[in-house]
Amino acid sequence: MRAPLSALPDRGGPAQPMLSVTGLRRWFKLSGGWPLSPKRVIRAVDGLTFSVAKGSTLGIVGESGCGKSTAARLIAGIEAADAGEIILDGEAFWTRGARIGREPRRAVQMVFQDSHSSLNPRMSAAESIAFGPEAHGVSASAARAYALDMLDAVGLPPDRFADRPPMALSGGQRQRVNIARALALRPRVLLLDEPVSALDKSVEAQVLNLLVRLRDSLNLTYVFISHDLSVVRYVADEVAVMYLGQVVEMAPAATIFAHPAHPYTRALFASRPSIDPRRRIAAPPIQGDPPDPVDPPSGCRFRTRCDYAEAICAARAPALAALADPAHRAACWMNVAGSGHSAAP
Ligand SMILES: Nc1ncnc2c1ncn2[C@@H]1O[C@H](COP(=O)(O)OP(=O)(O)O)[C@@H](O)[C@H]1O
Ligand SMILES: [Mg+2]
């Protein structure tokens, strides 16, 4: 059957990025507790810049607390950014002070890690999926019929699953309903925030395969957030590594896994338990917790945990800049000729 909501139009050729984010910022201002105590400002997302090609998957990795979920909420329009710009298929989706329209907002949908709390316990699977299209003016009967089709598309036979409440579904089935619910609005971009992190390994593989199939058949663009590097390696075409609210390295997946350039990326990859001892990387695994995002270090934010930090690293923040391969970018003074770092070319 035909989808009751029209697909949002493609505004440019495949050469135009589907999504680009420039200088995105979200600071959380917390009161200090006492009337005169200073306000604490958490710089959750602090100058985030990246873009995603149409039909591709960008994987975002980084330790817990580095701002991945906040960035996803900003891009989904669930929360407003303080500064920066989000361009969706060539059109401004968010700039400071501008309102996010209903239609562009529909084009970006999100799937969360916690499949349980994101579904209304009183609604059946079909009702949850039909809810969004109905809110966009689709008749109840058309929305219901479409919801049954969507259940089928995510591998849940509607005759068995349509009328089940979330508590009568397994974790993997609930996450399939969440995916169907997001897709029922006919988005062009899906933000997946740790979508398989709560699932068993065998179920995880099935859901990942489903996501890859849906992306290709529906011509979707994914932003796939995960702390699990093997999952990102499986799904992502490009990978962005975040540290304290910023991207520190970005490259095609094959490139970054073979030649990680930023000391943080190398440490992150090395701290992953490897089954093959020959594949252990020389970089020391990362130690301790990231610094407090309320008071990030001066200059390069990673310098307090970096074995290669020198004076320049504390003095100035390195920009995300292209390496010899222009598709590979890293923010590290060791890669900048004449930066003053002893390891610079
Ligand atoms: N609503 C909020 N209010 C205050 N601080 C928040 C809020 N949401 C997130 N944070 C803080 O912002 C930082 C980034 O959090 P988050 O985006 O959830 O990171 P990640 O998803 O990478 O683990 C953390 O320090 C977190 O405590
Ligand atoms: Mg998160």
Question: Is the pLDDT score of 284 beyond 90?
Answer: no
One domain for residues 97 and 228: yes
Atom of ligand 1 nearest to the CA of 225: 21
- Say if 38 falls within a structural domain: no
One domain for residues 229 and 273: no
pLDDT-derived band at 91, boundaries 50, 70, 90: confident
- Say if 102 falls within a structural domain: yes
List, for residues 128-159, the tens digit of each pLDDT value.
999 999 999 999 999 999 999 999 999 999 99
247 and 331 Cβ atoms separated by less than 8 Å: yes
Q: Cβ neighbours of residue 175 under 8 Å, at least 6 residues apart?
A: 111, 115, 195, 196, 198, 199, 207
Residue 66 is predicted with a pLDDT of 93
pLDDT-derived band at 73, boundaries 50, 70, 90: very high
Atom of ligand 1 nearest to the CA of 245: 14
Q: What SS3 class is residue 219?
A: coil
List, for residues 224-274, the tens digit of each pLDDT value.
999 889 999 999 999 999 999 999 999 999 999 999 999 999 999 887 654
One domain for residues 187 and 270: no
User: Which of 83-92, 110-119, 305-314 has the highest average model confidence (pLDDT)?
Assistant: 305-314
Question: Is the pLDDT score of 275 beyond 50?
Answer: no
- Say if 21 falls within a structural domain: no
Residue bearing the CA closest to ligand 1, atom 6 = 28
According to DSSP, residue 333 is labeled G
Q: What is the CATH number of the domain that holds 72?
A: 3.40.50.300
Residue recorded with tokens 């943080």? 264
Q: What SS3 class is residue 55?
A: coil
Protein residues whose CB sits closer than 6 Å to any atom of ligand 1 = 28, 42, 44, 62, 64-70, 293
| 3-state class percentages of the chain: helix first, strand second, coil last, to nearest 5 | 30, 20, 45
Strand partners, 190: 109, 222
Q: What element of type H or E holds 142?
A: helix 140-153
Question: Is the pLDDT score of 100 beyond 70?
Answer: no
- Domain residues for the domain of 253 are 243-345
Q: Cβ neighbours of residue 112 under 8 Å, at least 6 residues apart?
A: 118, 178, 193, 194, 195
Residue 135 phi/psi, 5-degree rounding, is -65, -25
Strand partners, 20: 51, 87
Residue bearing the CA closest to ligand 1, atom 7 = 28
162 CA distance to ligand 2 centroid (A)? Answer: 30
- Say if 45 falls within a structural domain: no
Task: State the chain's mean pLDDT as an integer.
Answer: 89
43 CA distance to ligand 1 centroid (A)? Answer: 9
Cα torsion 136, 142, 148, 153: sign: negative
Atom of ligand 1 nearest to the CA of 293: 25
Question: Crossing angle for the helix pair 171-183 and 125-135, nearest 10 degrees?
Answer: 20
- Say if 176 falls within a structural domain: yes
Q: Cα(338)–Cα(133) distance, rounded to whole angstroms?
A: 56
Strand partners, 329: 250, 322
Question: Is the pLDDT score of 282 beyond 50?
Answer: no
According to DSSP, residue 249 is labeled E
List, for residues 164-208, the tens digit of each pLDDT value.
999 999 999 999 999 999 999 999 999 999 999 989 988 999 999
One domain for residues 207 and 248: no
One domain for residues 333 and 212: no
63 CA distance to ligand 2 centroid (A)? Answer: 9
